[in-house]
């Protein structure tokens, strides 16, 4: 493997993978720390949503712009900038004295992650000019996604149960410094001789519109859906979306290529990506709270209980490739979303005292379904696109998925909270505090009532998430031609395309 310049190539591969692992691990590692953060910082449910959502929102909003900047100004430079900012953000998260500082520090982390991720891919494509070696390197790089997904809950659980939740962030400091020094010493600088133009107007409108929408969704339940503030936020989000589309339609090289959406395959794939991550982020967010707050498991045990889903994703991914190779991308996406959606609907039978032995297979069914979906999305997104546009098309897909995750936590959290509060008797709400973190000191009867109310909210979330995934099944059949036989093969995609779309949450 890697005959010429072997040492330089292996170092570039190792550093690129390591940087990506840090960024993606921080998405999943924080989930298991949420109950502990809630208790120590007095966070409400909406506060927990912001801890996850601000990272995803900023990360998604900046991916395309930071990718263009790294191509223009130097991939090594932006990889180092990303590592430095991410590590500094991690330190601020660990020292955060209150929820506001933690959320702001998470946003800073996301800025670093958004700079680091596309730069790490571009460094790889520059270091491996041979197509065969490049494919091997990209395959290893993409495997980091699954590894971080599986390792995050376990590492996070071990840290929370050991030195405490702040070490979920502090653990990034020594590895970040080592990675920075190694990258500074060993990585080679490269630039794209023909980078895309920057689109600052589209960038500002995009992130502003998304931030306003997510704020309205998260805070609408507590401030009132008909309050002047929330109605104003929704109105501003609608106006921002119209302005964003008008600006992008007039740009020569827009951040979001609207013409791509003329393709039914591209439009369908982006919708599927959005809805799939909408459901996935909500699933992981609330299951963590269920296992720790309602069932009373430790953070590490909660991570172990989530393994059937993550292992199933890794196990089913190779089958997705085989099915897609034989029948096209639409079929595994249709099968996978049907499996995952059915799993969420089956989980509506979950109760506050349900035996884990009766539900673990439903988690595995959910993860197995996602394993059939994630990889074929990349091929479906670039099908029919010119080779030179494949990287941008897959980058847009990754942005759609991240935005779907952010909206999923916001909207599903609101649905959950409304159902949870409605199911609580008035005399119990004072103990529950409007969330799940204020009832532990109450008696068994109160804990039982709160647990039942929590599960009621969880059922509402499962119903919405499952319906979203089954909608994806319909889209895969109608727009991706899941049962029409193998379509004509898509043009060869740039390596950047496959990799940009492999980055999860």
215 pLDDT band, cuts 50/70/90, is confident
Helices 131-161, 307-327: axis angle to 10 degrees equals 160
**pLDDT for the residue numbered 138:** 67
**pLDDT for the residue numbered 387:** 57
**pLDDT for the residue numbered 475:** 94
130 has pLDDT over 70: yes
379 has pLDDT over 90: no
Of the candidates 253, 265, 259, 151, the residue with the CA atom closest to the CA atom of residue 199: 253
129 pLDDT band, cuts 50/70/90, is confident
354 pLDDT band, cuts 50/70/90, is very high
- From residue 470, alpha-carbon distances to 332, 343, 373, 411 in Å are 13, 11, 13, 18
Which stretch, 129-138, 219-228, 283-292, 360-369, has highest mean pLDDT?
360-369
Q: Of 178-187, 292-301, 396-405, give the lowest mean pLDDT range.
A: 396-405
Which stretch, 150-154, 219-223, 358-362, 414-418, has highest mean pLDDT?
358-362
pLDDT tens string 263-277: 888 889 999 999 998
57 has pLDDT over 80: yes
Please report the DSSP string for 165-225 in residue order.
TTHHHHTHHHHHHHHHHHHHHHPPP---SSPPPP-HHHHHHHHHHHHHHHHHHHHHHHH-T
171 has pLDDT over 80: yes
**pLDDT for the residue numbered 272:** 94
Paired tokens of 346: 């089956």
Mean pLDDT, residues 88-110 taken together = 94
Please enumerate in sequence order all residues whose Cβ is within 8 A of that of 205, keeping only pairs 6 or more positions apart, or say none. 240, 243, 244, 247
**pLDDT for the residue numbered 493:** 41
Please report the DSSP string for 22-82 in residue order.
HHHHHHHTTGGGHHHHHHHHT--HHHHHHHHHHHHHHHHHHHHHHHHHHHHH-HHHHHHHH
388 has pLDDT over 70: no
Mean pLDDT, residues 1-28 taken together = 77
435 has pLDDT over 60: no
Distance CA 343, CA 338 (A): 9
Using a pLDDT cut of 90, give the percent of the chain over it: 28
Q: Which residue has the higher pLDDT, 310 or 177?
A: 177
Helix (H, G, I), strand (E, B) or coil at 372: helix
Mean pLDDT, residues 43-70 taken together = 83
505 has pLDDT over 80: no
Mean pLDDT, residues 380-401 taken together = 70
Paired tokens of 64: 């395309």
Which stretch, 42-51, 88-97, 224-233, 405-414, has highest mean pLDDT?
88-97
Of the candidates 159, 390, 147, 434, the residue with the CA atom closest to the CA atom of residue 263: 390
385 pLDDT band, cuts 50/70/90, is low
Q: CB under 8 Å, gap of 24 or more: what pairs does 479-482 form? A: 479/264, 479/265, 479/267, 479/268, 480/265, 480/268, 480/269, 480/272, 480/328, 480/329, 480/330, 480/333, 480/334, 480/380, 481/328, 481/330, 482/328, 482/330, 482/331, 482/333, 482/334
Helix (H, G, I), strand (E, B) or coil at 349: helix
169 has pLDDT over 90: yes
Distance CA 436, CA 56 (A): 23
Handedness of CA 261, 267, 271, 273 (dihedral sign): negative
427 has pLDDT over 90: no
Mean pLDDT, residues 101-128 taken together = 86
Using a pLDDT cut of 70, give the percent of the chain over it: 84
Return phi, psi of residue 56, to 5°: -65, -40
315 has pLDDT over 90: no
Distance CA 448, CA 423 (A): 12
386 pLDDT band, cuts 50/70/90, is low
123, 26 contact by CB (below 8 A)? no
Q: Chain-wide mean pLDDT for the chain? A: 82
Give, as one character, the DSSP assignment of residue 97. -
Which stretch, 118-122, 128-132, 222-226, 342-346, has highest mean pLDDT?
342-346
Please enumerate in sequence order all residues whose Cβ is within 8 A of that of 458, keeping only pairs 6 or more positions apart, or say none. 286, 290, 350, 416
- From residue 72, alpha-carbon distances to 12, 69, 175, 197, 397 in Å are 20, 5, 28, 9, 22
What is the pTM assigned to this prediction? 0.82
Within a 10 A sphere around the Cβ of 361, how many other Cβ atoms? 14
- From residue 117, alpha-carbon distances to 76, 162, 378, 393 in Å are 12, 30, 17, 16
Mean pLDDT, residues 185-210 taken together = 80
Mean pLDDT, residues 195-218 taken together = 82
Mean pLDDT, residues 145-157 taken together = 75
Q: Which residue has the higher pLDDT, 261 or 91?
A: 91
Helices (H), 251-328: 264-289, 299-305, 307-327
Within its chain, how far is the Cα of 393 from the centroid?
18
Of the candidates 319, 375, 366, the residue with the CA atom closest to the CA atom of residue 347: 366
Go through 405-443 and write b for each residue having 16 or more CB atoms within 10 A of its CB, e for each that does not: bbbbbbbbbbbbbebbbebbeeebbebbebbbbbbeebe
Of the candidates 110, 98, 134, the residue with the CA atom closest to the CA atom of residue 59: 110
pLDDT tens string 451-499: 889 999 999 999 999 999 999 999 999 988 767 755 544 443 443 433 3
What's the burial of 22, exposed, middle or buried (CB within 10 Å: 0-12/13-18/19+)?
buried
- From residue 282, alpha-carbon distances to 17, 120, 405 in Å are 27, 28, 8
Distance CA 426, CA 78 (A): 53
463, 419 contact by CB (below 8 A)? no
195 has pLDDT over 70: no
Of the candidates 244, 272, 242, 253, the residue with the CA atom closest to the CA atom of residue 61: 244
pLDDT tens string 17-55: 888 788 878 877 888 888 899 889 988 888 888 898 888
- For 249, the enclosing helix (H) or strand (E) is helix 228-250
**pLDDT for the residue numbered 382:** 67
Helices 360-382, 264-289: axis angle to 10 degrees equals 150
Share of the chain residues as helix, strand and coil, in percent rounded to the nearest 5 = 80, 0, 20
Helix (H, G, I), strand (E, B) or coil at 386: coil
56 has pLDDT over 60: yes
């Amino acid at each position: 493997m890697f005959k010429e310049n072997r040492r330089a190539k292996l170092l570039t591969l190792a550093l690129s993978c390591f940087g990506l692992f840090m960024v993606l691990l921080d998405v999943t590692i924080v989930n298991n720390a949420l109950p502990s953060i809630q208790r120590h910082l007095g966070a409400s449910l909406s506060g927990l949503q912001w801890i996850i959502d601000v990272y995803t929102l900023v990360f998604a909003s900046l991916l395309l712009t930071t990718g263009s900047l790294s191509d223009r100004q130097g991939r090594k430079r932006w990889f180092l900038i990303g590592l430095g900012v991410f590590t500094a953000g991690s330190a601020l998260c660990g020292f955060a004295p209150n929820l506001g500082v933690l959320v702001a520090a998470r946003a800073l982390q996301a800025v670093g992650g958004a700079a680091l991720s596309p730069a790490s891919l571009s460094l790889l494509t520059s270091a491996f000019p041979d197509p065969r070696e490049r494919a091997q390197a990209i395959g290893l790089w993409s495997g980091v996604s699954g590894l971080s997904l599986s390792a995050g809950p376990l590492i996070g659980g071990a840290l929370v149960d050991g030195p405490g939740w702040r070490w979920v962030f502090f653990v990034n400091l020594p590895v970040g410094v080592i990675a920075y020094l190694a990258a500074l010493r060993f990585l080679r600088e490269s630039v794209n001789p023909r980078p895309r133009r920057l689109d600052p107007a589209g960038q500002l409108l995009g992130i502003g519109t998304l931030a306003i929408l997510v704020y309205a969704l998260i805070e609408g339940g507590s401030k009132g859906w008909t309050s002047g503030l929330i109605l104003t936020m929704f109105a501003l989000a609608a106006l921002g979306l119209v302005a964003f589309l008008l600006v992008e339609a007039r740009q020569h090289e827009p951040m979001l290529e609207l013409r791509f959406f003329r393709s039914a395959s591209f439009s369908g794939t982006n919708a599927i990506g959005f809805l799939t991550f909408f459901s996935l982020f909500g699933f992981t967010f609330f299951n963590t709270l269920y296992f720790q707050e309602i069932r009373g498991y430790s953070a590490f045990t909660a991570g172990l209980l989530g393994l059937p889903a993550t292992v199933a994703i890794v196990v089913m991914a190779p089958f997705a490739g085989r099915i897609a190779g034989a029948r096209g991308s639409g079929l595994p996406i249709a099968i996978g979303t049907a499996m995952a959606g059915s799993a969420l609907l089956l989980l509506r039978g979950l109760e506050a005292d349900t035996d884990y032995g009766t539900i673990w297979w439903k988690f595995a069914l959910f993860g197995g379904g996602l394993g059939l979906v994630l990889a074929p999305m990349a091929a479906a997104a670039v099908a029919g696109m010119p080779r030179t546009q494949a990287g941008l098309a897959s980058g847009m897909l990754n942005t759609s998925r991240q935005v779907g995750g952010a909206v999923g936590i916001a909207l599903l959290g609101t649905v959950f909270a409304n159902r949870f509060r409605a199911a609580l008797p008035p005399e119990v709400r004072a103990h529950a505090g409007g969330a799940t973190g204020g009832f532990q000191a109450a008696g068994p009867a109160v804990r039982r009532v709160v647990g039942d109310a929590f599960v009621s909210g969880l059922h509402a979330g499962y119903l919405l998430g499952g319906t979203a995934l089954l909608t994806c099944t319909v889209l895969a059949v109608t727009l991706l031609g899941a049962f029409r036989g193998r379509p004509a093969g898509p043009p060869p995609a740039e390596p950047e395309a496959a990799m940009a779309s492999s980055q999860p949450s």
